[in-house]
Amino acid sequence: MKGIEAHPERCTGCLICQLMCSFTFEGRFNPSRARIKIDRADGSCRISFSRECTLCGRCAEHCLYGALEVRGEG
């Protein structure tokens, strides 16, 4: 089964993933409209996905830090 594996220890909090997700599905760069959410607190990042995530992998393709990995087959 396909999934996105998150590696929060590699995440820099750059929010490119949120920008790419919102642009893909909403047609605009608005991180608050993304189906992936990065929470930064105490110098670390927490990565979560909403139920609307389609597992398209767009966010993972654009993460420059290897914090998101597509696993399995759709």
Contact 68, 59 (CB under 8 A): yes
CB of 33 to ligand SF4, least distance (A): 10
Residues engaged in binding ligand SF4 (CB under 6 A): 4, 11-17, 21, 24, 35-36, 38, 45, 47, 49, 53-59, 63, 65, 67-68
Task: Output the smallest distance, CB 20 to ligand SF4, in A.
Answer: 6
Which runs of E-coded beta strand occur in 1-74? Answer: 3-6, 36-41, 44-49, 68-71
Tell me how far, at minimum, the Cβ of 1 lies from ligand SF4, in Å: 14
Could you give the CA distance from residue 38 to residue 47 in angstroms, rounded to a whole number?
Answer: 5
